Amino acid sequence: MDKTASTMKIFGRLMVLMIFVFFFCQINGFSQSSFRIFPYLQVNQQKVQIRWFGSENLPSTLEIKDNSGSVVFSGAISAVEVPEFYYTQAEKNQGISGLANQSWIGADTYFKYEKVISLQAGKSYQYTVNLGGQNFSSSFKTAPSLSDWESVRFIALSDSETEPRGRVTNRAWYPGNPLIRLFPVPSAWKSAFGTTVEEGFELPNYMLSEEKGFAENLKILKSRNPDFVLMPGDLVQGGAYMPGWDEFWRHTSGQLDQIFDRFPIIPALGNWEAFGGVNGSYGFNERGVFNPVLGRLRFHRFFEFPSEDQDQKHRQSYYRTDYGPVTILTLDSSNGTPDQKRSDFSDSQKVKNKEMTEIGTDTQENYTQAEYNSAGGSDLSGFGPGSPQYQWLEKNLELAQSQGRLVFVQFHHIPYSSGEHGVPINHELATGQGGVPMRILNPLFEKFGVIAVFAGHDELFERSFVDEDGDGKGVHYYDVGVAGDGMRGVKRNWISSPLQTLNYNSFSKWTADQNSIEVWDNSGSNPVLLDGGKHYGHLEINVKKVKDGNKTFAQIDFEPVYAFPVMNSQYQLQRVERRVYNDPLRIMVELADAVVAPIFKSELAVELDQTGKILTKLQDYLQNEVQQDWKVDYSRSNEYTCADLDGTENELKVTDSKGNSWTKVVIVRVLDKRPPVFEPKDVVLTFDKVSGKLELTPQTFSVSQESILDNCQGFGAFTIELDKKVLTCADLTNQPIEVKISVTDRSGNVSTKSSKVTLNPIESKTISIYPSESFQGRVGESLEIKLGEEFPYTVDSWIRDGQPIANQKGKSILVTQSGTYWAKVVPNGGCEVETKKVAVTFSEKPFPPLKSSIEVSLNTSGKATTQPQDLFSSWPPADPNLDIKLSQSEFACSDLGEKQVVVTIKNQSGQTWEEKTFVKIQDNTAPLLTSKNLEVNYDITQGSISLKPEDFLTAFSDNCSVKELTISKTSISCEDLGKEFSIAIRAVDASGNVSEATSKLTVNRVENQKVTISGTDQLCQGQKGILTLTSSQAFEVVRWRRNGVEVSGQTGKTLEVSEPGKYHAVIRYPGACLSETVEFEVKVNPLPSGQIEVDGNILRAPAGDFTYQWFRNGEKINGATNRVLTVDLMGEYAVEMTSQAGCTSKLAPVTLTISGLGSSWVKKPIELKIFPNPASSKVYIELPGDTDIDVSAIQIYNMEGKKVSELVSKVKVSERQAELSISSLASGAYLVWIIGDSQNSYLGKFVIVK
């Protein structure tokens, strides 16, 4: 067997092998940002949803401004924890070669923040999200209205299938055209990218890793500024594998890049969204949760959008998005019914080759509808006729068509495919995951004018055109599964003829791997790909409104874009270029004056505002968007009030500018959900202990019908209830007493508030006692103490010196002992009270005994005085003529403490007694403080500032002296900038009396010498600029930020910039404070772009506000500075364009050939077939069709325009072919030009490699 045959056999064995490898995702470390996922957008016409995630429940705010700088929304956004987002132990234990264990695992909690807002059509907005003190700023543009639009650009790509393993994985690069490439694989290629060995056959791995491929693809997408992005499925390598989601957001709203902060995402469910990865594939994870249910639930948590679509029965597995004139219908192709699997068909029942007997009903055999439902899932629907999803689709297709919309559809499983899954389930080569059953929807698509369908799954990049009814208005199907995962090729006829493509898809018009021929440069030490082949990429769709006479069209251009990696001969990546495959498609759709009918709601519920009114607008009554030319008449006012609480209706008549009108009676339910407002007062009430009870009413707390505020005031009385209506003696011991007051309005809205009652007990009447105050008698006498009869009562007890006297409950008592006497009595129905106290003294002397000691307090002047009556146990003495003198009666601060006082008593007979007692002098007067507020201007370039108590006082004093004066804060530092503090001032005197006061300290930020940013604020795309920080003060740079996000690793006083955004720096003054510079906005202006238009010998550059300079063969053409250039020389022509912003770019050159100077131009050249190409000694050229070749007409030119035909031997080998001997020519590129009959021309290019 020769070498070629052996190679073919090995390759055939490779083609037969079917491999399904499941990859698992993780995050490459999480930054210290407050944001776990940066804000991303979703849209539906003028409704915009902004959503972001954090790992902690941090405070967050959102501010949205329009182009004028006016704030259209500003407010706090609260977080909701998402319990379905978690890591399993299997994910935490997973090991990936080349990555540190768990380096992709983040925090265990996810907190979701979101805001939905309706904005004006076709306007630009800027927004800033603050999360935990960190700002993120971006901008977006709302959708234009259906009637007022100029252009829409969107991009479709799928099968990113992100996972952490993708960071270190280069996928096998399956054969394209030519069938065999790099055989054997060069060692340098193996070293750079690796290879994949299948059945002993070595395949080269692709030049970019999955991570790099997806990232570069997104960079190109981002540079095109699309209005929105479609992603028809397989976003992640396992929806129930959490690291897969982390990796997706790392690319699109995270560490690597931010895409959806400006360009809204419209995603569809794919088969991988139901996959669990290391958690058990399509089975159950370690928590017992069914992976398909969990994975799809996570999809909903990330992407659900508020909807009033009552026909959606399965959450938002399928949904509609309107954007200006464009409608996107997103479907769920995850499972068909009835369920099918390959084993349902015996070998004899299976079809072969290109046979087809049925399209099948199911797109996967991993789980059934019943299994999904039994595991708790409720969002999975079939797609065939009779299913809820089919009915929803048909209704929305019909509605969108009636509205004159441009309808596109997306779902995951491509129905018409030349790829691995492109055969029905009963085919011998079926994979069990085919999209063929989705063909059941094509008749609907054709009936209602669907323009194109975007899908993935086969990862092929293919276009098919299906026109089943033969009316010439079929549907274009695109497989856009080239976001960043597998590099598959078309399906081979593995069993019958493994080297042959199966070509099962008879509708296919183009595939990247077969129709983009690879061109290799083999002149160096290693072969280098120059162009062609299958690469990562996406489909760009441009919709533009154009006029042709009196008709208006939507011009829809489809551009299949690929990210081409430019390598040097050592296989080092030089750059990645945006290139477009040679399969552009333009569709012109005539735009009729669409009649959009209002879709009325049958019932409308409105809530009254705080004024008891609600003013409705037309949009409130409709399910669809209000058109600009609609006018509405109401049968009654469209403002509803409290008078409508019992229900009402309104008949609406909507009329458009064409005279069409629609009428509908809408039931209006008017709701009042606002509770009444009242402010009860806390009260201090007098409680008469004699009566023993106190009744409470609402008026007690100043609550009345008049004091209650309600939006429906006057439409019915309020019900006021107290939970406690009577207070008794028992309440005196549990103060303050809480009383709950509830007010209910007519609609049943209840407000409940609490008030506190403090009781001040009094005695409206008292029982008199005789003697009333004191009595002094001689030893041996007795005294009767009597109670009065002011009100009915019973005596509880008599008391002597605080101790009850046994068996004494009468209204009088006879006493013979000295002491203090009183009685406790209980009024009938009242609370226990006490009588006044009577001091009784029986003494041998004519005066009562002295008190053992007394206490006196200094006054505010530091003085105190005592008198004789203060020192005796009772007063007056029995002998009123006694002369009583004190040894000291006046005291000052110096007397503080205990002093002995001698009392001298003398009667009229001259008899004298001398008694001693003690007077304790006390100071109970606290120091006097008069505080003041202090405002400090703190220069942040300096250190801390000391504070003194005197800074906060206008005066302080004490009746004696102040011992200690302190404040609660003795210094201020950087952390105090811009804050306001309450300062506690505390004074303590010599007696320990304390006074406290508070002052307000305001710390103002002063920065006299600010750090400024300077540099170029206008850059051109690809240009770099330098931002410089300057100040007369010394400072250091802590970090730079762009749009609120830290620029990693940048702490210098200069920053190289190339991306647009608002830049600022965080700096620190030595030994002092941090500061932030003002923002410096850098704008990056786009480079002029487009292509040169060739019209015979006239070249036209793109129109616009540009200056032009033309070049020929790389040399400037003097004076050629107009947009249009007329040429008369052959060569390669290019134009350099400079925009008003000074940005310059040179467009791709065009090569012109002329039959001779002065000759007329021939017709547009037809491409020559030249092979082999590249070549070294001989090439063959072949004319198309039946054209006879004339070797004398063959002209050959080098790239400098010089004719080299005479150096080439030309021999005709057949009617249409000629052989060229090119051994005399040097290495390089050459043009072959043939002029035929009727000025037909043929053009080709070949490369010589020696």
Find the range with the poorest average confidence among 83-87, 131-135, 1026-1030, 1246-1250: 1246-1250
Q: Which two tokens stand for residue 703?
A: 């609550």
- What per-residue confidence (pLDDT) applies to 841? 82
Of 12-21, 25-34, 366-375, 452-461, which range is least confident? 12-21
Q: Measured between alpha carbons, how far is 12 from 604 in angstroms, rounded to an integer?
A: 66
Question: What is the per-residue pLDDT for 414?
Answer: 98
pLDDT(704) > 80: yes
Mean pLDDT estimate for the chain: 90
* Ordered domains of the chain (ranges, CATH): 35-146 (2.60.40.380), 153-514 (3.60.21.10), 603-671 (2.60.40), 683-762 (no CATH), 769-840 (2.60.40.10), 853-922 (2.60.40), 930-1006 (2.60.40.10), 1012-1085 (2.60.40.10), 1093-1152 (2.60.40.10)
Calculate mean pLDDT across residues 42-53: 95
Give the pLDDT score at 613: 95
Minimum mean pLDDT among 625-634, 664-673, 777-786: which range? 777-786
| pLDDT number for residue 22 | 28
| % of residues, the chain, pLDDT over 90 | 70
Residue 159's CB is within 10 A of a number of other CB atoms, namely 29
Helices (H) and strands (E) in the chain, counts: 11, 88
Q: Is the pLDDT of residue 21 over 60?
A: no
Q: Are 153 and 543 in contact (CB under 8 A)?
A: yes
Question: Are 354 and 504 in contact, with CB atoms under 8 Å apart?
Answer: yes
Q: Looking at per-residue confidence, does 423 or 33 come out higher?
A: 423
Please tell me which residue, 1233 or 831, carries the higher pLDDT value.
831
Whether 995 shows a pLDDT value over 70: the answer reads: yes
Residues 542-585 have pLDDT tens digits of 999 998 888 899 999 999 999 999 999 999 999 999 999 999 99
List the structure tokens of 1162. 């021939």
Q: Is the pLDDT of residue 3 over 70?
A: no
More confident residue, 79 or 1205: 79
Can you tell me the distance from the alpha carbon of 4 to that of 1151, in angstroms, rounded to the nearest whole number? 39
Q: What is the structure's pLDDT at 1235?
A: 74
Give the pLDDT band (50/70/90) at residue 1022: confident
pLDDT tops 70 at residue 199:
no
Query: Quick one: pLDDT band at residue 1165, thresholds 50, 70, 90?
Result: low
pTM: 0.55
What angle in degrees, to the nearest 10, is found between the helix axes of 242-252 and 210-223? 40
State percent of the chain over pLDDT 70. Answer: 95
pLDDT at 977: 85
d(CA 585, CA 920): 109
Q: Picking from 423-437, 490-504, 814-828, 957-971, which range would have the lowest pLDDT averaged per residue?
A: 490-504
Better-predicted residue by pLDDT, 595 or 175:
175
Q: What is the pLDDT of residue 31?
A: 52
Residue 1201: pLDDT over 80: no
pLDDT in tens, 525-547: 899 999 999 999 999 999 999 98
pLDDT on residue 772: 83
pLDDT tens by residue, 836-890: 999 888 877 778 888 889 999 999 999 999 999 888 887 878 778 889 999 999 9
Res 25 pLDDT > 70: no
Beta-carbon neighbour count of residue 716 at 10 Å?
13
CA distance 1183 to 999: 98
Task: Determine the average pLDDT of the residues in 41-61.
Answer: 96
Inform me whether the pLDDT recorded for 1 exceeds 50. no
The pLDDT-based confidence of 12 (bands split at 50, 70, 90) is very low
Mean pLDDT on 1030-1036: 90
DSSP E strand boundaries for 771-846: 774-778, 783-787, 793-800, 803-805, 812-815, 819-827, 833-834, 838-843
Nearest residue to 40 (alpha-carbon basis) of 228, 277, 268, 175: 228
Nearest to 950 by CA among 966, 969, 936, 961: 966
Nearest-angstrom CA–CA distance, 919 and 304: 84
- Note the Cα 1239 to chain centre separation in Å: 62
Write down the pLDDT at residue 1155: 35
For the cut 90, the answer to whether the pLDDT of residue 370 exceeds it is yes
Tell me the β-bridge partners of 886. Answer: 903
Please report which residue ranges of 43-145 form alpha helices under DSSP H. 89-93
Other beta carbons less than 10 A from residue 704's beta carbon: 13
Asked if the model's pLDDT at residue 1238 lies above 70, the reply is no
Task: Answer for the pair 672, 642: CB distance below 8 angstroms, yes or no.
Answer: yes
Taking the CA atoms of residue 787, residue 788, residue 791 and residue 793 in that order, the dihedral angle to the nearest 10 degrees is 20
pLDDT value at residue 911: 84
Full 3-state SS string of 652-681: EEEECCCCCEEEEEEEEEEECCCCCECCCC
Work out the average pLDDT over 185-203: 81
**Cα–Cα distance for residue pair 742/750, rounded to 1 Å:** 7
Could you read off the pLDDT of 875-904 as tens digits, one per residue? 878 778 889 999 999 999 989 999 999 999
Those residues whose C-beta lies under 8 Å from the C-beta of residue 1016, and which sit 6 or more positions away, are 1025, 1026, 1082
Q: Is the peptide bond before 827 cis (omega within 30 degrees of 0)?
A: no
Angle at 361 between CA 360 and CA 366, to 5 degrees: 105
Specify the pLDDT at position 32: 57
In the structure, what pLDDT confidence band is assigned to residue 78 with cuts at 50, 70 and 90? Answer: very high
Residue 255 predicted with pLDDT over 60: yes
851 dihedral zone (left: phi>0; alpha: psi -120 to 50; beta): beta
Question: What average pLDDT score do residues 1215-1223 get?
Answer: 91
Higher-confidence position of 784 and 48: 48
**Local confidence band at 1162 (pLDDT 50, 70, 90 cut-offs):** very low
Q: How many CB atoms are located within 10 Å of the residue 1066 CB?
A: 15
Q: What is the pLDDT of residues 778-793, one digit of tens each?
A: 777 888 899 999 999 9
pLDDT exceeds cutoff 80 at 1200: no
286-300, 375-389, 610-624, 1116-1130: the lowest-pLDDT one: 1116-1130
